[in-house]
Amino acid sequence: MDNFVRVYDNVMPIEMCHDLVEKFEAATDMHEVQDNANGKTLTVLNLLGKKDSPFEDDVGPLFEILTDCVDRYKKDIGVYDFQWPKHFGLEPPKMKRYLPDSSDEFPEHVDVTGTDNLKRFLVLFLYLNNNDKGETIIHPNTPSVSDLYVSKCKQGSCLIFPPFWPWVHAGKPPVKGPKYIIGSYLHYV
């Protein structure tokens, strides 16, 4: 059976990836430490998290990239028009940085756990740099190895999958250098 996990390579220009990483590092006033339980954390930045955000001009192009990926995804998994919501939105994108040799990691979790996040129906991750380690692992606790999916951190690629309980996933820590991703979700509206 199809696992509904897809990766699309080269969807984002490399220059845009570099630019976003530079802006992230310069916008320290927007950084927040996200507690991921069990002593695990990471640094997160809401691209629209403040008035006059340095990322305002980036959000439109990011949404276009994500929308194009979603269109490919719908075709790839064979979604009929009647199955897809007539109206949906994108959650404001957040950029995340995982540092090596730190507590930065996102242990096994799912992204829809109750009424506070039940509008989400699709996970979208854009990788902003290459990283040999620090993968996103989906089904990390599955008893069947055939169900395990490992998404490498490949610059300019987009990982898409459902956010519900069968898609347990984890953001593993990088080893040699920082890992940068942008995450968003499709929402029912």
Q: Is 154 inside any structural domain?
A: yes
Residues facing residue 138 across a β-bridge? 149, 169
For helices 14-26 and 56-77, angle between their N-to-C axes, nearest 10 degrees:
130
As a whole number of angstroms, the distance between CA 7 and CA 124 comes to: 10
Q: Is 143 inside any structural domain?
A: yes
Question: Which helix (H) or strand (E) covers residue 45, if one does?
Answer: strand 41-46
User: Of 95, 90, 91, 101, whose CA–CA distance to 31 is shortest?
Assistant: 95
Q: Is 109 inside any structural domain?
A: yes
Q: Is 1 inside any structural domain?
A: no
Which residue's structure tokens are 């969807």? Answer: 11
Q: Which domain holds residue 175?
A: 6-188
- Tell me: the pLDDT tens digits for 123-175? 999 999 998 788 999 976 666 656 678 888 999 999 999 999 989 999 999 99
- DSSP tag of 48: T
User: What's 96's domain CATH number?
Assistant: 2.60.120.620
pLDDT at 1: 47
pLDDT at 101: 94
Question: Which helix (H) or strand (E) covers residue 61, if one does?
Answer: helix 56-77
pLDDT at 143: 60
The tokens for 24 are: 């992230």
Alpha helix positions (H), the chain: 14-26, 56-77
- Please state the domain count of the chain: 1
pLDDT at 132: 78
Q: Is 85 inside any structural domain?
A: yes
Q: Would the CA dihedral through 114, 93, 97, 171 be positive or negative?
A: positive
Q: Is 95 inside any structural domain?
A: yes
Question: What does pTM read for this prediction?
Answer: 0.94
180 and 129 Cβ atoms separated by less than 8 Å: yes
* Integer CA distances (angstroms), 33 to 62, 88, 104, 178, 184, in order: 23, 29, 10, 15, 18
Mark the ranges of the chain whose per-residue pLDDT is less than 50: 1
Q: Is 19 inside any structural domain?
A: yes
